[in-house]
Structure 1
């Protein structure tokens, strides 16, 4: 995929937002602004593009209706961000009063690195607590008027107004990449932190956080792709800390986790798109795979490959060791795996299944019951998506193989 005019325009608008003002002179003359707007909505960067467009010289004919629509995204982002900030300050104060350690991470920390922090949108605010503080945290959030919308597994969800919280007791609960067991690796995450506000509000040490962001991005890339905002997060993290980071430690940990190829490809892209000035061993990728990576990032929404589906990644995973299989066989294998998932996955239905494998059939029955009576229509949809999976999974498989992201 050689980038088309619309994609080039969007990348240049992101560069202008980052302060790379010399891009204004090389901005493409003929742009389909309706398509630019479509990408802005898909990647949740409407507010960012609005501020960049305002820096373009007058003669850039951006249709008034597009400017107006992007302005709506700008004000919506700012107002939502203000609400999230206000509620999150209350949460931090409350958890400090209750002496509950909590670790801020991902979007809440990253938005501080953006030129206009309010424009780094967040669907939800994630933070980490210790498993033993789960019940006390739950009670504290209910007292603050949050409604608990999900209380199973390692992530409990809460909402109040437009603010959604994801409260993790583990930040990774599956294997990512080919290296060390990521779930085990992150069991002691709370100890890699420093204080940021009060006695109990913590955030990760910057190198540890960056490694985690690569793990998180790789997880999304493996299953559903990730979008331009994820790429921008890395670029702005590098701009903020760049060469003051302990890169020896970072590469050593990424190597351990089997994610150094993915990290190098991501940084190569940051260098190409945003001029990131970091010294690292560049990723020598097959041209078609590198272009495919860009295509996936553009096709993705904020954290999801809009034009594909989760079923596609499940079918693709069946190619391991069976590259000559036809698509029909791959779909059958994926479907059987979906109906009878492994113990790791089934923990969210029955916690003890991890220690007691004999409970697995019981966990399956619970899941089937919920699937039929609670999520019937959604499962019909999933079956349709399974049937619509096409040969494109083979290209994705080749890319993920080169990035070392296959299990």
Structure 2
């Protein structure tokens, strides 16, 4: 077990509601271990939650003064940011309403104002909105006309995004540059899928959307049952399982506590989508750290303990090694030498906008072309440097084991 994986359960105990962190274990931590806990908390935006915990059940924790101060600053910054995000959400929601576009706010935008007691406890990097595909393009154009701007460089062409991604290139709204991602689907495309079926799924989600008050306005959101399943899919079934961090545990607890969930529909939808394994694993983690909730699970079989432990480690994995971990996991899963070679070739020669993003230049700049070999050497060097790293190897093994189980829901 790596040092980071060994500290993960202790940090999770610090976030927990129904179990306490071992004070003796905290007191025995070295400065280097506290630095690692601080790094994990920063990477996964846990400062506001930890600051709140230290005002209650964690009031006697022997946390270094500098780290306490950092978490207090994180709380204040999150509270200030929440005001800017609220204003942006209201403004863009009003714009969509004026344009006659049906939308539903996703994940953090619902949790922060409808499920958590204070929005500062749920930091957001961006706001996700779900619309029909053509409506997403129309809102993207309307936001641009109203002054929204792309990032420093708009790397992904809209046509490429529509073919290969689940959302359009992000736009930044207002003086605080709040990022919006306009989705027309909740997962990335896969080969051979029925696009009409995807559109019908989005239409069904939007037909069930609900309105709720945010400050002086009403915002439309996914139905809480749909939101709960989306949180699970986003956390467990992304490109790398559980790399969204442990905040999903407080998210799920808050979502279940705040709304009436239609459990029969939830489990029927999860079964149809092949997501019951991820749901059961996450609910087991919620029960362990946030207290048992009634979930209406029709399968009483306990989740294997080794998978709970693997998920704990993956939730606090090193985000600075995310690219290397993803490459190592995917190439290990590629079929045979030919499959591995094809995968490596695709990673070495991706579309121009990906290399433009790496180089920090516009996608139509001549400087994209010399960036290809530079990127290849950089990534190759980092891969060779990381290849023998025990921490990376352990995380790749956990990720592969987890992906295999999530595919079947069986140990």
- What is the TM-score normalised by the length of structure 2? 0.75
In the other structure, the counterpart of 1:310 is: 326
Contact between 1:100 and 1:133, CA under 8 Å: does it hold in 2?
Answer: yes
Structure 1 pair 236–134 and aligned structure 2 pair: CA distance change class (3 A): closer
Q: Secondary structure at the match of 1:316?
A: helix
Distance between the aligned counterparts of 1:168 and 1:402, measured in 2? Answer: 28
Structure 1 pair 377–167 and aligned structure 2 pair: CA distance change class (3 A): farther
In the other structure, the counterpart of 1:294 is: 312
Q: Secondary structure at the match of 2:150?
A: strand
Contact between 2:235 and 2:241, CA under 8 Å: does it hold in 1?
Answer: no
Moved more, 185-194 or 76-85: 185-194
Contact between 2:8 and 2:313, CA under 8 Å: does it hold in 1?
Answer: no
Moved more, 196-205 or 308-317: 196-205
Unpaired runs of at least 5, structure 2: 163-167, 355-362
Cα shift at 1:143: 4.0
In the other structure, the counterpart of 2:271 is: 255
Cα shift at 1:98: 2.5
In the other structure, the counterpart of 2:54 is: 53
- What is the TM-score normalised by the length of structure 1? 0.75
Cα shift at 1:374: 5.9
Contact between 1:296 and 1:305, CA under 8 Å: does it hold in 2?
Answer: no
Contact between 2:128 and 2:183, CA under 8 Å: does it hold in 1?
Answer: yes
Does 2:232 align with 1:232?
A: no
Cα shift at 1:12: 3.3
Distance between the aligned counterparts of 1:292 and 1:57, measured in 2? Answer: 26
Does 2:98 align with 1:102?
A: no
Distance between the aligned counterparts of 2:321 and 2:243, measured in 1? Answer: 5
Higher RCO, 1 vs 2 (CA within 8 Å, ≥6 residues apart): 2
Does 2:173 align with 1:157?
A: no
Distance between the aligned counterparts of 1:62 and 1:258, measured in 2? Answer: 42
In the other structure, the counterpart of 2:133 is: 131
Does 2:395 align with 1:401?
A: no
Does 2:160 align with 1:144?
A: no
Cα shift at 1:223: 5.9
Does 2:186 align with 1:171?
A: yes
Moved more, 194-203 or 126-135: 194-203
Cα shift at 1:201: 4.7
C-alpha root-mean-square deviation of aligned residues, in Å?
A: 3.9
Does 2:349 align with 1:336?
A: no
- For residues 6-405 of structure 1, the aligned pairs below 5 Å read 6-16=7-17, 20=18, 23=20, 28=25, 30=27, 32=29, 33-56=34-57, 59-112=60-113, 113-149=115-151, 150=154, 151-152=157-158, 153-154=161-162, 155-160=168-173, 161-175=176-190, 183=198, 186-188=201-203, 189-196=205-212, 201-220=219-238, 222=240, 225-241=243-259, 244-279=260-295, 280=297, 281-282=299-300, 284-299=302-317, 301=319, 306=322, 308-318=324-334, 331-338=340-347, 372-373=369-370, 377-387=374-384, 388-389=386-387, 392=394, 393-404=396-407
CA deviations on 1:182-212 (whole Å, 9 max, x unpaired) are: 9567343323323446999522122122222
In the other structure, the counterpart of 2:359 is: none
CA deviations on 1:70-95 (whole Å, 9 max, x unpaired) are: 11111111111111111221112222
Q: Secondary structure at the match of 1:159?
A: strand
Distance between the aligned counterparts of 1:49 and 1:15, measured in 2? Answer: 10
Cα shift at 1:124: 0.8
Distance between the aligned counterparts of 1:165 and 1:130, measured in 2? Answer: 16
CA deviations on 1:310-359 (whole Å, 9 max, x unpaired) are: 2123213315xx6xxxxx87753431354688xxxx8x99xxxxxxxxxx
Structure 1 pair 39–192 and aligned structure 2 pair: CA distance change class (3 A): same
Cα shift at 1:306: 4.3
Contact between 2:274 and 2:407, CA under 8 Å: does it hold in 1?
Answer: yes
Unpaired runs of at least 5, structure 1: 323-327, 350-365
Moved more, 2-11 or 391-400: 2-11
Distance between the aligned counterparts of 1:235 and 1:100, measured in 2? Answer: 31
Alignment size in residue pairs: 367
Distance between the aligned counterparts of 2:318 and 2:249, measured in 1? Answer: 12
In the other structure, the counterpart of 2:360 is: none
Cα shift at 1:296: 0.9
